[in-house]
A = this chain, B = another copy of it.
Amino acid sequence: MNGKLFLFCVCIMVFLNIETFPQTDVNSFNLMPAPVKISYSEGKYRITKDFTVAIKGNSSERLYNASARTVQRLSGRTGLFFPEFSGAKSDNASSASMIIETDKTGALVLNEDESYSLDVSAQNVSLKAKTDIGALRGLETLLQLLGADENGYFFPTVKIEDSPRFPWRGLMIDASRHFMPVEVIKRNIDGLAAVKMNVLHLHLSDNQGVRVESKIYPQLQKLASDGNYYTQEQIKEIVAYAAERGIRVIPEFDIPWHSTAWFAALPELASGSGPYKIERKWGVFDPVFNPSKDATYEFFDKFFGEMTALFPDEYFHIGGDEGTKVEWTANKDIQEFMKKNNLSGIHAMHSYFNLRILKVLTKYNKKMIGWDEILMPEMPTSIVIQSWRGQKSLFESAKKGYMGILSNGYYIDLIQPTDFHYLNDPLPDTIKLTAEEKSRILGGEATMWAELVTPETVDSRIWPRTAAIAERFWSPSSVKDVKSMYARLDRVSVQLEELGLTHIKNQEMMLRRLTNNNDTKALKTLVDVIEPVKLYTRHSLGVKYTSYSPYTRVVDAALPDAKIARDFRNDVDDYLLSSKNNTEELNKLKDQLLIWKNNDAELQKVIKKSPILNEISDLSKELTEVSEIGLQAIDMIINKKKPEANWFIVQMGTLKKDGSISFGQSELMIVTAVEKLFAAANNFGQN
């Protein structure tokens, strides 16, 4: 492997690109992730109703099906009545509009070749790849290339050479805290495939539930799942569905902690004396498997025997995070066991446990992956570390010889803006690691923890932000223009809807319910400029969330990285960077602020009819007040009137009663922009 040299070449090519044609052109292709190399010559391949596809070379059933789905999606977007959804599998392809050619069927393993090249001429389309998986990636690129003009649909005449930067590009879905039915998983697999991700990591057990059927231990699904679990048939269905899309499925059973639910079925394996019930609250809890009992390892030997047979991937995730010492300290047997085995302290005991679990996994031909905490000197370097703690921890692992993937910075449950995740690089250019150490950084995973999401809202937390994360994992590190990312993200987001994803459409549905079937317009106007509070703040605002809580409030309908608010902030920035004499731009800002200012009057009428909205009544009023301040600031700018000393502080002081403007666990996302307008009035106005 010569990873360093390869990366160097990549950068050159990208720079060549940006030189070759204007930035706007690159954006107009709307590709996400951006390909390694793209060249464009003015021209169009026209798509007609006679569009056909032929597959040459080593065609797989998977490629044939993917090609059929591609043609079906093209038909859906264009309304063209194609003769069929896919062409002949034969080599007799001279007359086909598009020819796909692959050398071999790809394996669903780490480091499989996913490269492809796509060549669109005015006459036909050619897609070549070493593996059918590479061809699948190319088909998604082709779908993103679809353009339209007054004469119909076309692909621009481009030549693309593409391959991923990292071999491990994933999304973790927590199906334990809130169970996610098969259809949620399937549509998200389609979403992952659309943005060239290749790993779905399923977090299948936690304090709140064990989510896979066991034939050997049926008490698990009976007593530890509330009836919400995947049958073994459904697991096979998910794994096959993912494999059809070139995506590996990594199961995670989080042990020895995060395990209360197991003990509702198997109390004898716990370290404490119980009694244990499925946990209904969120947080870090003490229940932990008893590492001193042979029965524990006998259980895992049988249970993992069953599970490893269901999940064909070579990796198997054992969690291992967030240990507490309470139960191990209180249990005399365990204390004695530790003494007898020279295990000094919780870390040594955890390490002992992991080594025995490693033996079980090795027996079943699986490699171990776990969170940072499983990294201990005793562990062999064959394990993979998933870092929730951060890059520092990841790089230290790499130096010690361990492979790792980064999840810190990709915690999409924390509702941070897309660019925050986008600019978080698993392997920043500045990092001081040897080439060999760098090669141990395999990629990363976005993590969708599910305490505060349900099947109704989960897509809106995953998408579209995960598309930008996918670009970070696939595209060269030099691709990091935030403006370009956002422009392409808007488009990809809508394309993702054709796969059944609900990240856009469920919001209006939730607003209809929230307004009690009244007009949703005023509520939408507010929701467009708010976001849920960030990080774990929702858990510390008075409400104690549990499995039984409603996740149907305004804060749940509010989206991360609210576009309308972001656009306004950008408009203000653009204005402030401009000549400042742009009254047209100022008037546009005024018009927007006026709409917001007047919104509360309408919204209050709806709130009166729908008590669930009471909690955002004050937030709605604040929008009016903040908008009024913004309008006054603009008037001062226009009239070149410097504000009174302390004017802004006094104005805002009446709002920020608690240091921030948030009600109903949501926050107003235009406040910083208004602050900037004020600063502008203050700096540039004349008294």
Contacts and interface: CB of A to CB of B under 8 A. Distances in A.
B509 A504 contact: yes
A610 B80 CA distance: 13
* Central interface residue in A65, A233, A553, by most chain B CB within 10 Å: A233
A609 interface: yes
A550 B76 contact: yes
A611 B153 contact: yes
B512 A504 contact: yes
A548 B75 contact: yes
A150 interface: yes
Nearest to A181: B183
Interface in A455-484: 455-456
Contacts of A227: 65
Contact of A549 (B77, B81, B456, B508): B81
A356 interface: no
Given A517-B494, A611-B150, A81 B548 contact: yes
A101 B198 CA distance: 52
Interface stretch (A82-90, A293-301, A338-346, A412-420): A82-90
Contact of A548 (B84, B152, B498, B615): B84
Contact of A508 (B75, B505, B516): B505
A78 interface: yes
A562 interface: no
Interface in A148-163: 148-153
A32 B81 CA distance: 40
A266 interface: no
A77 B491 contact: no
Contact of A79 (B77, B490, B508, B553): B553
Given A81-B550, A548-B83, A506 B509 contact: no
Contacts of A82: 548
B512 A612 contact: no
A424 interface: no
Contact of A78 (B512, B544, B612): B612
A182 interface: yes
A280 to B, nearest CB: 8
16 contacts: A76-B552, A78-B611, A81-B543, A81-B548, A81-B550, A148-B609, A148-B611, A150-B611, A181-B183, A231-B233, A231-B237, A456-B500, A491-B517, A494-B513, A497-B513, A505-B506
